[in-house]
Amino acid sequence: MSSGQLAPAEVRSMFNRIAPRYDLMNQLMSLGLHGRWRRRAAQVSDLAAGQRALDCCTGTGDLAFLLAERVTSRGAVVGIDFSEQMLAEACRKGAGEASPCFMQADATDLPFETDSFDAATVAFGIRNIPDAAAALGEMVRVVRPGGRVVVLEITVPDRIRRASEMWFQRIVPGLGRLVGRDAAAYAYLPASTLRFPQPREFAAELSASGLTDVRWQTFVGGMVALHYGRVAA
């Protein structure tokens, strides 16, 4: 796990194990701020009532529910994940008329037609996909020209790298042992974070995937980055 890379089957098994405590760990690891970052991601998706959105690596569905508030019709937001236990947790939250539809699917091989959605998002999941370029390509494919692709992810900025490494390599694994009850899973997180590209480098990857007008903003001193761009016509 020290390389920060796992085979797809290992990633799926890991998220199935940690699903029951995933939301609590997110609260602790982000000091309660992850909801604010997800709300900003939903905002820059540029969705309006009546439109459709896809949330990849949806996990327990937090971002999918925020997108659903914007499009206001049931089933207009689809949340996909390949962890059935994560999806089970997401389904337990859904009850309202505008609740998302959740389904098991692979982000690198989406079961949707080209130009099916007005936006596609992924929050804290792209770094867990071994072939991130393939996933980005699929997100671009299923979004109509002019629609948005939004990526929210953890980064390790050079200017506060020592503090970031202290948090992710010491504090987070400790929380994982005590609260998440899965030391292996929360030892994987720091390594996967450390190998993720810096915001400018990732913006170049988004442009290469077929997005235009790529922008980004960072939070908490650059430890979290929100990227977004439009699908080229």
Position 182 in a domain: no
Position 54 in a domain: yes
Position 37 in a domain: yes
**Residue 168 pLDDT:** 66
Burial of 50 (0-12, 13-18, 19+ CB in 10 A): exposed
CA angle 159, 163, 164 (to 5 degrees): 85
Q: Cα–Cα distance between 152 and 122 in angstroms, integer?
A: 6
User: Nearest CA to 125 among 206, 35, 39, 12?
Assistant: 12
Position 56 in a domain: yes
Type of residue numbered 32: G
Alpha carbon of 144 to those of 46, 120, 210, 211: distances in Å?
Answer: 13, 10, 12, 11
- Edge-first strand listing for the sheet containing 143-154: 101-104, 77-81, 53-56, 117-123, 143-154, 224-231, 211-219
Position 135 in a domain: yes
Position 123 in a domain: yes
**Residue 233 pLDDT:** 86
Type of residue numbered 168: F
Range of the domain at 221: 8-153+197-231
Q: Please report, for the domain that includes residue 97, its CATH number.
A: 3.40.50.150
Domain count, the chain: 1
Mean pLDDT by 10 residues, the chain (233 residues): 68 91 87 95 97 97 96 91 96 79 97 98 94 97 98 80 64 64 72 83 97 96 93 93
Position 86 in a domain: yes
Q: Cα–Cα distance between 212 and 229 in angstroms, integer?
A: 6
Position 25 in a domain: yes
